Chains A and B, each alone.
Chain A
Amino acid sequence: MFDYETIRVIWWVFIGVVGIAFALTEGFDFGVSTLLPFIGKTDVERRVIINTVGATWEGNQVWLVLLGGAIFAIWPAVYATLFSGLYVAMLLVLFALFFRPAGFDYRSKLDNPGWRNAWDWALFLGGTLPPVLIGVLVGNLILGLPFHLDQDLRTFYDGSFWALLSPFALLCGVTGLLLTTFHGALFLKWRSEDVIHDRAVLAVEFLGPVLVAALSAVMLWVFVGIDRPEITQMAGTEAPSNPMHKTVIGDGAGWIAHFMQYPWMWLAPMAGLGGFAMAWWMGKGESRMGAFLFSCVGVTGTALSVGFALFPFLLISSTDPNSSLTLWDASSSYSTMVLAFWITVIFLPIVLLYTRFVYRIIWGSVTEAAVLKDSHTLY
């Protein structure tokens, strides 16, 4: 029904969709957790904030689990190289995520203020460290990672954790945190009233311009300051997946030339910057849903910019460019991709449908009165 090349491109799109869904949904969950100790001054205020995401954060986090699972299934070599190479960074993300389920579920199960305050900071860490680390990770995807493959296709990492923290990658980490916090502030603004609503507007007002500036700086840096590798020879887009059958030079025509080759790709960075700018403009005023939707455009544009910039690379090797992994030579077999395609085509709409149902049921502003009324059942 498809040829191998087509299904490889389809899956590049699908994994992009899952990644964007993760950034959009868990993005605001993270952001709300980051803002929690600052916007919530009293226990009830903090419970209001927690309960704006309390009923749905768990479903949102499945996008992350699925992103991992999909990469495992579709690009096994990428999964192997990324997770083992960035061992310490990945474990730090994991450890930070540990704080979330227990933080949400256990925090309000005891009345002790010390206990509750400790969990608030745990939730803060659980919502703040992952976007920083994922930002650093994305920065390193653009810079390239120091790894090589041997003749058995075993992957070896040639760098250290500290080497990941280059100035560019750190800027990406800060940008990642700004992005989730801004996105989360708009979500919180939408789902709260009175004092929390007002403080969320203040956060939006302050974070918007900083985010746009940081994102612009990242883009500028990429276009003028970083080399883009280029494939000079490869086995073909239909060939069996073996990353060792190509030649890659470390310093190609550059990122601008790559975007010029497919000018429609410029829409992505424009949507990223434009989306956030509009979200800021509307968000500091009355708009709730509109501002949040523009923030979604911003998140999507930003994520697409990364994907488009790297295409057809998935993981660039900075020390052995020939070992770089691309969607043409690091994918799983044709039949596995087709199988996974059908599973996705059937279940993606079902998942979206019931997720929408759940959001419709729980939707509405969370207020202090509601938290006090259901004090023993709410988070």
Chain B
Amino acid sequence: MFGDDIVMLSRMQFGLTALYHFLFVPLTLGMTFILGIMESVYVMTGKEVYKDMTKFWGKLFGINFAMGVTTGLTLEFQFGTNWAYYSHYVGDIFGPLLAAEGWMAFFLESTFVGLFFFGWDKLSKTQHLVVTWLLAVGTSLSALWILIANGWMQYPVGAEFNYETLRMEMTSFADVFFNPVAQVKFVHTVAAGYVTGSMFVLGISSWYLLNKRDIGFARRSFSIASAFGLASILSVIVLGDESGYTEGETQKVKLAAIEAEWETEPAPAGFTLFGLPDQENQETRYAIKIPYVLGLIATRSISEEVKGLKDLRAESKQRIKNGMLAYADLQKLRTGDTSDSVKQNFAVRKADLGYGLLLKKYTENVVDADAAMIEKAADDTLPKVAPLFWTFRIMVACGFTMLFIFVMSFYYCATRVADQKRWLMRMAVWCIPLPWIAAETGWFVAEVGRQPWTISGILPTHLSVSSLSADQLWFSIGGFVLFYTVLLIIEMYLMIKYVRIGPSSLHTGRYCFEQTAAAH
């Protein structure tokens, strides 16, 4: 019903601004915890260097945090500005989750972040430590609510369609909150944030050590990062969110697409390590498979099968046909025919209403769709396989590279020879971008893999957009590109500048540049 360009531009804008926001979020999640750990050590041991560590890494955290706040606001605005029909359709479920995030989490982190920076002389040691931890808890709680909201988009439980209000309404908050997809997503995502913070501190500390400056400061930062990083990367990998991919139709499609698995394999399925997915012929060429592994990862069992794309498409096609009937019932209800038989029919079929709505792309009236339209809509339920297949593997490769780095760093720290392993420190410096690459590709898989839906099986993406013109969208995209580019350059400039100055920026008189200045 809307031009493809409006849908495409809206998706592009949301995708770009969301990925941009997520350049800053993971570092915030990780850094707040690392700051909490460093300051705890300070309070327990009383050693001044740990206070300096908290303050210096806190400075870098602050530069990053400002950008997180700036870009987070964009996302809240955008649901209303660009996804108005989505907001109407699922606001009853999605809205309270965002509001809860505001009350429980965002207030907490935003109120205490000021005290973290300006409260050092105004609070006792313990009080300040509590403030730092509240900041850390606030940021992770914030992620909890956002990921419950996002998890619901992937696997919408605890809600149903109400024909009187023409939208989805919440039926069980408990189901929404304890949504298994949301829970694994939360653990996976915050742990990935902790990895990001650890890699950041590990890499920069390595750089100081390689340059033989501020050794004591850098070595202590290095060990905290290696220990926290190892624990976090293990959580990310062991609690990877593939385990959530067996719930719900769309998640299964996503899993099959990631694996480029066209045919249903007998259990337990093999994991395709490498191959060239061919969408047109629905096959994967040159596939190298590791037996059993996919079945184990996805179903946590050796007897359950993982469904292939062809079978999933056939199931979707059936649901599209059923959805046409549901839409016909809804038409009757809407025009005032609320007899019991219509209501009963609708109650049975409404779970497939969303599949019927997929046809709106081809015919406004849905019920008059012909066989060719149904085939097209069924094709739409399969995402493009190759981009998902590759981005997923990039994410996993980044993850395992970091696992190697953290295992080695932790081992060498424990054996107290980390300073001598220059190859490892060099590697840590070069690998600083990896957690970001992993996070961005991870979100790409999660969100592109959900297409053609905004709410899996409930609301197609092409219906979710606002009634806007292409001019309006170009105006906003232009604005975002302009502001975000300038802000990113400024942020990177400040970040690099302060990383280069290092702890000397605290002006305590204890660090390298101040000492050379004093010597002259």
Contact = CB atoms under 8 A, between A and B. Distances in A.
Interface string A48-64: 00000011111101100
A291 B113 CA distance: 29
Given A87-B466, A376-B506, A362 B94 contact: no
B110 A62 contact: yes
Interface in A302-360: 332-333, 335-336, 339-340, 343-344, 347-348, 351, 354-355, 358
B166 A101 contact: no
B467 A156 contact: yes
A241 to B, nearest CB: 5
B111 A68 contact: no
A151 interface: yes
A70 B106 CA distance: 14
Given A72-B98, A362-B115, A91 B479 contact: yes
Contacts of A104: 66
Interface in B49-73: 55, 62-63, 65-67, 69-70, 73
Interface string A108-128: 011000000000000000000
Contact of A347 (B82, B103, B111, B479): B103
Interface stretch (A92-100, A171-179, A201-209, A214-222): A92-100
A84 interface: yes
Contact of B112 (A77, A98, A156, A358): A358
Nearest to A235: B164
Contact of A358 (B93, B114, B164): B114
B57 to A, nearest CB: 14
Contact of A355 (B91, B103, B111): B111
Interface size class of A (residues with CB under 8 A): 35 or more
B95 A332 contact: yes
A355 B106 CA distance: 13
A339 B81 contact: no
B47 to A, nearest CB: 20
Interface in B98-133: 98-104, 106-108, 110-115, 117-123
A105 B84 contact: no
B235 interface: no
B338 to A, nearest CB: 12
Interface stretch (B167-175, B201-209, B398-406): B167-175
Contact of B63 (A91, A109, A155): A109
A236 interface: no
A83 interface: yes
B331 to A, nearest CB: 10
A343 B99 contact: yes
Given A56-B114, A332-B92, A240 B165 contact: yes
Interface size class of B (residues with CB under 8 A): 35 or more
Contacts of A266: none
- Select the residue from A54, A81, A101 with max chain B CB neighbours within 10 A: A101
A83 B103 contact: no
Contact of B81 (A83, A105, A106, A152): A83
A240 B164 contact: yes
Interface stretch (B188-196, B410-418, B468-476): B468-476
A82 interface: yes
Nearest to B498: A109
A87 B102 CA distance: 23
Contacts of A261: none
Interface in B470-502: 472, 475-476, 479, 483, 487, 490-491, 494, 497-498
A242 B99 CA distance: 23
B74 interface: yes
Contacts of B103: 66, 343-344, 347-348, 351
B110 A72 contact: no
Contact of A87 (B69, B81, B107, B118): B81
Contacts, number: 239
Given A155-B88, A376-B505, A242 B80 contact: no
A76 B81 contact: no
B96 interface: yes
Contact of A72 (B94, B111, B472): B94
A335 B497 CA distance: 52
Contact of A55 (B87, B91, B118): B118
A69 B467 contact: no
B485 to A, nearest CB: 12
- Select the residue from A56, A83, A241 with max chain B CB neighbours within 10 A: A83
B81 A84 contact: yes
A70 B99 contact: yes
A376 B507 contact: yes
A378 interface: yes
B421 interface: no
A65 B71 CA distance: 12
Contacts of A84: 80-82, 84, 466-468
A145 interface: no
Contacts of A336: 92-93, 95-96, 169-170
Given A76-B95, A347-B104, A377-B120, A55 B164 contact: no
A76 B86 CA distance: 9
Nearest to B94: A72
A255 interface: no
Contacts of A72: 79-80, 87, 91, 94-95, 98-99
Given A54-B118, A336-B169, A94 B84 contact: no
Nearest to B483: A98
Interface string A71-82: 011101101111
A361 B128 CA distance: 11
- Select the residue from B165, B476, B494 with max chain A CB neighbours within 10 A: B165
Contacts of A344: 103
Contact of A80 (B88, B100, B106): B88
A372 to B, nearest CB: 13
B99 A66 contact: yes
Nearest to B334: A151
B29 to A, nearest CB: 17
Contacts of A351: 103, 107, 111
A83 B84 CA distance: 8
Given A94-B73, A154-B85, A66 B118 contact: no
B423 interface: no
Interface string A358-379: 1001100000000000101110
A90 B80 contact: yes
Interface string B214-226: 0000000000000
A195 interface: no
B84 A80 contact: yes
B66 A91 contact: no
6 contacts: A62-B107, A101-B66, A104-B66, A332-B91, A335-B170, A376-B506
The 3 lowest CB-CB distance pairs between A and B, nearest first, are A76-B91, A83-B80, A73-B95
Given A73-B96, A87-B476, A106-B494, 4 more contacts: A62-B110, A73-B91, A105-B66, A242-B166
